[in-house]
Every structure is written in C-alpha cells, then in structure tokens.
Chain A
Amino acid sequence: GNSVTQMEGPVTLSEEAFLTINCTYTATGYPSLFWYVQYPGEGLQLLLKATKADDKGSNKGFEATYRKETTSFHLEKGSVQVSDSAVYFCALPVGGGADGLTFGKGTHLIIQP
C-alpha cells in the first residue's frame, strides 16, 4: 500500500518566521495528497489538498505543491502566527481501491510570540 514519511517535531519557530514541513510519499499511481491540521482539543481538519501532479493546494496562507518527480508534498507558509500552533499531518489514500487514508506521524508546530 501507499505510505508517507513526514518530518517529526516538535518544530519551534518565532512568529512571522518561514515554515516548511517536509512530506514525501510512496504510492502506486498519482493519488490525491492532503495536509490535515489538528488544533489542541479538536479533531483533524483538512487544511489543503492537491489532486494531480503539479497542483498547488493552498489555504489560510499555507501552500503545498504536488511534486511527482521528487514524490513530495512539502507544506510551507511565509509568515507563521501563534494561532498556527497545532499538529500537522500529511496523508494520502491507503491504495488498493480503498478510500481510507494513511498518515504521516504528524509534526507538532509551536509558534512563539
């Protein structure tokens, strides 16, 4: 099945710093790719997605580009805020025709004022 490797945290940054969270995947074909975010005490929320190669997903100032050449889907934000503190998960379908997702281990992001 498909799999994903994600940089592990915690990642601690100062407010307004540039953020990159690396994500690489192994997959059959070209599945959709996702970033989910989990704020403290809440469920996972879809942050952004890309459905085909070279697509760029974006939301709330976050971006990620589907790179099939490097099998990567790195998450970036130009200027982080304290409110971005959360756990971020990279994900893609498990494969084999199933709809469930396989996730990276999650990256805990801490933004200090």
Chain B
Amino acid sequence: GAVVSQHPSWVICKSGTSVKIECRSLDFQATTMFWYRQFPKQSLMLMATSNEGSKATYEQGVEKDKFLINHASLTLSTLTVTSAHPEDSSFYICSASLRALSSYEQYFGPGTRLTVT
C-alpha cells in the first residue's frame, strides 16, 4: 500500500514552454502533498507544500508564479513549470502524506526528469 505515482517519468521541452507534472496517490487519500527538486549529486530540496483545496505554501526562494501547484483532489497534485528555461532542468519528486498514519511519514513518487532545451 501507500503507492505514489508520477507522470511523466521524463520530459523534454523547449525553452519558453510550460510543462505539467502529475502526482497521484494510488491507494490512499493524501491530506498533504509535497514537491521536491533534486539536482545531480545533490540532496532533495523542498519546493512547496500543498493541501487539498487550498493554496500551496512555497519555500523561500521558490518562485510561486513559475512553479504552479494545484492540489484539486485528495489523490492528485500537479506541478506546472511555466516558461521553462534550461536552468529549470532537474529531477522533480513528489511525496504524499497521510498524517493519521504517522507524523511526517511521507510516501514518495519515482520522480520526473525534466530537460529544457
């Protein structure tokens, strides 16, 4: 149980275009979903926290107008990278939390590799 999927697993887009990444909790309802970013040989960095039906909370230094997050249901959150540039190329990972299970325990998706050309 507690499976999280992401789609697509990898995407290549041209500079200036927008890309949407989906994160789904497949077998549980996630009260909270998180988006992380991972650069090569670097750690995961929290970008934002989203709760179903409310606006996402962004970490300091993350542009909310560039990284649009929508958490429309308890099983789906989307991250849209708007007007993508090569420096946005990275590995984006989502996770989902059901706080009733255990404090802060999160279930991670497999990640999406974004390459902006």
Residues of A within 8 A of B (CB): 31-32, 34, 36, 41-46, 49, 51, 89, 93-94, 98-106
Contact = CB atoms under 8 A, between A and B. Distances in A.
A100 B93 contact: no
Contacts of B110: 41-43
B108 A44 contact: yes
B97 A99 contact: yes
Contacts of B43: 89, 103-106
B108 A98 contact: no
Interface stretch (B14-22, B63-71, B77-85, B98-106): B98-106
Given A43-B4, A94-B46, A99-B104, 11 more contacts: A32-B104, A43-B93, A43-B108, A43-B110, A46-B106, A93-B104, A98-B49, A99-B97, A100-B34, A103-B45, A105-B41
Contacts of B44: 44, 89, 101, 103
Nearest to B42: A105
Instruction: Determine which residue in B43, B97, B105 has the highest number of CB atoms from chain A within 10 A of its CB, and name it.
Output: B43
Contacts, number: 57
B57 interface: yes
B106 A98 contact: no
Contacts of B99: 99
Interface of B: 4, 32, 34, 36, 41-46, 49, 57, 59, 93, 95, 97, 99, 102-111
Nearest to B6: A43
Which among B4, B102, B108 has the greatest number of chain A C-beta atoms within 10 A? Answer: B108
Nearest to B103: A32
A3 B111 CA distance: 23
A102 B46 contact: yes
Nearest to B44: A103
A45 B32 CA distance: 17
The list of the 10 closest CB pairs from A to B, nearest first, reads A100-B46, A44-B108, A43-B110, A43-B108, A105-B43, A103-B43, A103-B44, A100-B34, A100-B49, A43-B109
22 contacts: A31-B104, A32-B103, A34-B104, A43-B93, A44-B44, A44-B93, A44-B95, A44-B108, A45-B108, A46-B105, A94-B46, A98-B57, A99-B99, A100-B34, A100-B36, A100-B46, A100-B49, A102-B46, A103-B44, A104-B43, A105-B41, A105-B42
